[in-house]
Amino acid sequence: MKFLLTSAGITNRSISNALVDLLGKPIAESSALFIPTAIYPFAGGAGMAWKAISGKAGNPFCELGWKSLGVLELTALPTIREENWIPMVRETDALLVWGGDVLYLTYWMRQSGLANLLPSLTRTIYVGMSAGSIAVTPYNCDAEFDLQYVPDGSDRGQDADRALGLVDFTLYPHLDNKDMPDTTLANIEKWASGIPVPTYAIDDETAVKVVGGNAEIVSEGNWQLFNP
């Protein structure tokens, strides 16, 4: 599978060009499925999901001019016959995976069966934003933050620091975001020092493009690679 892992969506021409390159055709000729699931644990999550779908969230994603756009709600998939959703996923050009709670997202990726399906999607582009990008890495840099949203009595918090591991590096988005005090370079370096795989710290003007397991930085902003 090919990946375009962003911090804040398709925020500049370089990232847009990388997306078109991965698709192999213009966005206007491509189909996409939007996955809003990660946002629901937050207060007002339903409203934020609607803003993202309607192109009013301020992070360019759904509003890029796709030929067709649908919503893939992971929490619904376990109750749906596989033949009614898996072919749709296989046929789409891009999966747009929104930000939010990494722990909640990875839980439902596994529960829905999508996590097992993803490695077989050789023609589909996985486009992540924030939590949607972190989810496919081996480690969850947001684990401590995510745990506060786990309901009492739930076992969802087990192995909160582990994600899906579909790429061989981890990602820390929103580098030096003034509204996120944990995203300073010093804090990310401290976290990365305990991680046994490379860590990319990327700002909102940066993405990581992955083809055939090879990672390439696409940036009009700032980023840093920390090796283990």
Q: What are 82-105's pLDDT values in tens digits?
A: 999 999 999 999 999 999 999 999
Percent of the chain with pLDDT over 90: 95
Per-residue pLDDT of 15-27, as tens digits, reads: 999 999 999 999 9
In what helix (H) or strand (E) does residue 140 lie, and over which residues does it extend?
A: none
Per-residue pLDDT of 109-162, as tens digits, reads: 999 999 999 999 999 999 999 999 999 999 999 999 999 999 998 888 888 999
Could you tell me if 177 and 223 are in contact, meaning their C-beta atoms sit under 8 angstroms apart?
A: no
- Which pLDDT band, with edges at 50, 70 and 90, does 73 fall under? very high
Between CA 181 and CA 177 the distance in angstroms is 7
Between CA 45 and CA 222 the distance in angstroms is 29
Residue 181's pLDDT is what? 92
Q: Which structural domain, as residue segments, surrounds residue 89? A: 2-226
Could you tell me if 135 and 164 are in contact, meaning their C-beta atoms sit under 8 angstroms apart?
A: yes
Could you tell me if 10 and 18 are in contact, meaning their C-beta atoms sit under 8 angstroms apart?
A: no
> Strands 199-202 and 170-172: what pairing?
parallel
Could you tell me if 88 and 26 are in contact, meaning their C-beta atoms sit under 8 angstroms apart?
A: no
Could you tell me if 64 and 58 are in contact, meaning their C-beta atoms sit under 8 angstroms apart?
A: no
Radius of gyration over every alpha carbon of the chain, rounded to an integer in angstroms: 16
Could you tell me if 133 and 5 are in contact, meaning their C-beta atoms sit under 8 angstroms apart?
A: yes
Residue 71 above 90 pLDDT? yes
Assign residue 212 the CATH number of its domain.
Answer: 3.40.50.880
The beta strand positions in 68-203, using DSSP E, are 68-71, 94-97, 125-129, 170-172, 199-202
Predicted TM-score (pTM) of this structure: 0.96
- Which pLDDT band, with edges at 50, 70 and 90, does 199 fall under? very high
Q: How many domains, in total, are found in the chain?
A: 1
Residue 158's pLDDT is what? 86
Residue with more model confidence, 10 or 59: 10
57-65: average pLDDT: 94
Three-state SS for 103?
A: helix
Give the tokens for residue 63.
């509003």
Residue 185 above 90 pLDDT? yes
**Nearest Cα to 42, choosing from 97, 99, 95?**
99
Residue 70 above 90 pLDDT? yes
Residue 111's pLDDT is what? 96
Which residues are registered as beta bridge partners of 105? none
